[in-house]
Structure 1
Amino acid sequence: MKHITILAPDYQTNIATVACVAGAYEIFSQANEYYKSNGGREFYVIEIAGVNNNTPLAGGLFSVRTHTLIAQVHKTNLIIIPSLASNFEKAEKSNIDLVNWIGQQYKNGSEVATMCSGAFMLASAGLLHGKNCSTHWNYADKFRSLFPDVNLQAHELITDEDGIYTNGGAYSFLNLVLYLVEKYYDRPTAIFCSKIFQIELDRQSQSPFIIFKGQKQHGDEMVKKAQAYIESQSAARISVNSLSEQFSIGRRNFDRRFIKATGNTPIEYAQRVRIERAKKSFESTRKTINEVMYEVGYADLKAFRQVFKKFTGVSPLAYRRKYNKDGKGE
């Protein structure tokens, strides 16, 4: 019989941790029952494991009675790491036993899945070096600063590489669980769970949910000044050559420093600033697509649509219809 282990960390937990542990346990349990009732043979023992028998979560607001201790789990097929709280710098020290156990289990052939900010624990275990990874878009800058050797794909809802699964933010962990149900059981079981728990199947991106704030958690003061200038001129055409001249630096060196600090080229950064402004306008006003396009500095509708979809995953019209209750047709 195969085994799925859902971790209950002792530290850095929050209410989302509780939701991840409970949600994963409930959905996998339902998948087990459905799969068995339809003649499936390779179902799973599903256990919540930790370093203590009774684990406090979210500052003691909740607690979970674990089925077993990690020291007693010598072999498991899948480990699930739930969301964690935001004080990630301490995660490795406070959860050192879990981190070491995860690393050893992965070496022994276990697969590992992380939910939301649980990716920080996985990265602390050294298992994401050189690999693609996702986490909550709101933690992307912090993650990049702590783990620059990981290929963070903040727009992706789920990544799947070498037996390691990661996912985007907050309650999108439900989409990851469905993805894993299909992997570990089959498509009909995933569809059944999707319908029972009313979770959208096959979501691929968290781009429509990203709020672009500008990557400011870096120490390059020149780049910060350039960012501030781009943000202040969001409706104007930006000349990167002129901008680099303002700071008395060559264009190639300017681009290199900007990309290193923000993860975007200066042009991409300006595009993201404009698109974020357009999103807010679509959410809160009754302006037409053309009015918003001109407002944020675009004159070509095709180009605007292409850039908008690049960063949000949807068209301007679809975005407005989704987030503005008055947003009907154009």
Structure 2
Amino acid sequence: MTQTLPRRIDEFLAESGWATPQIEALPGDASFRRYFRLNREGKAALLMDAPPPHEDVRPFLHVAHWLNGQGMRAPHIYAQCDERGLVLLEDFGLDRMRDWLDENPADETRVYSEAIDALVALHRCEPGPFAPYDMATYLREVTLLPEWFCPQAGIEVDAEGFEAAWREVLTPLLDRQTPGVTVLRDYHAENIMLLADGSQGLIDFQDALVGHPAYDLVSLLQDARRDVSEELEAAMLDHYCQEAGCDEHFAADYARLGAQRNAKIVGIFARLNQRDGKPRYLSMIPRVWEAMERDLAHPALAPVARWFDANIPDEIRANKGKLTA
């Protein structure tokens, strides 16, 4: 274990009042970040190791402090060393929303309703001091599909036409995300913790932007990592609209951002396989692809749907974008 720990970690922990704890390494994610659970004299904390230059802890700390200042449930920060990428933070425990629901499926409606309520509370806050989710960002993300997925699928596509179709589809949405809300961007069942006091804790929010309220709903209800039934998705969308209020454009914008996010994720999972040697994410592509196809069926997505008809062969679509490592 000692060999796997960050260098000079004893010095950081001693300065933070956490000298000589018991340390347990936790499973990693799709980034260079590593996490360790610390226990000392009956108290628990998490150590985040986000080593520069691959990672930068400052955005995480910026968003965490803002969320906690708004009464949202982000981890409290106990100590930090920005230069080394070390953060000592509150331990939210072991109950991820996904794992809890795997063992307690009867709680699904209640737990998702509470996750929707947390979004409603977030969206009632003034938008945070974060960059806008602008057209350039949307397009940069969505073009990951032709950049990474299509070559692995063995097809050549009209990349310029893809971007043009998306620009046409997303333009009407931009005015409706001003002044906007804080968008956490990865709000799903593996990034929501069920805490002992009955609240839900937020993690993995360092990429927050100011954008459209439908985005995090898509992230939650069209989850790349967990099956969410169409019935539950519809019920939770209705719950959100009852609590937050939704205009006549909301359903179309939800489909727009659903297709945009899912196309991005397909590209990211293909990139994780090819560039980063992480083929396990390929098994999730069919779930994401299926949700993307549902979104593409909305009339608001017509230009992008026509591009898919012209560029993605029927057999790939029928196979839900499945790739092999």
- TMscore range, shorter length: under 0.3
**Which fold has the larger relative contact order, with Cα–Cα distance below 8 Å and residues 6 or more apart in sequence?**
2
Q: TM-score, normalised by structure 2?
A: 0.25
Q: TM-score, normalised by structure 1?
A: 0.24
